[in-house]
Amino acid sequence: MPENNQKTCRCGYTRDHPWVVPKHKYSLLGWVIVGIGISYAPKEITVECDKCGEVFERIDDKETLLKNKYK
Ligand SMILES: [Zn+2]
């Protein structure tokens, strides 16, 4: 049994590592709206390793998404 059960990706990073970043996922419409500078809540946020793309966490609850929208 490992001492901490923190998940690591293929590179061996935990979610506290600087490579592991939250990514905002938008629908096509969302991208257009954000692209013209209007605040829009993402469809989903994934916390993933920027290097290998391993997903640590997927957030799709509306309240969290609204708090994380672009300003
Ligand atoms: Zn990785």
Question: From the CA of 15, how far away is ligand 1's center (Å)?
Answer: 10
In the predicted model, is pLDDT for residue 59 greater than 90?
A: yes
* Per-domain boundaries in the chain: 1-71
Q: How confident is the model at residue 1 (pLDDT cuts 50, 70, 90)?
A: very low
Alpha carbon distance 59, 68 (integer Å): 11
Write down the pLDDT at residue 11: 96
Question: From the CA of 22, how far away is ligand 1's center (Å)?
Answer: 13
Write down the pLDDT at residue 68: 81
Percent of the chain with pLDDT over 70: 92
Question: From the CA of 69, how far away is ligand 1's center (Å)?
Answer: 25
As a whole number of Å, the CA-based R_g of the chain is 14
Task: Give the residue-averaged pLDDT of 17-28.
Answer: 94
Write down the pLDDT at residue 4: 61
In the predicted model, is pLDDT for residue 57 greater than 50?
A: yes
Backbone φ and ψ for 61, nearest 5 degrees, come out as -85, 135
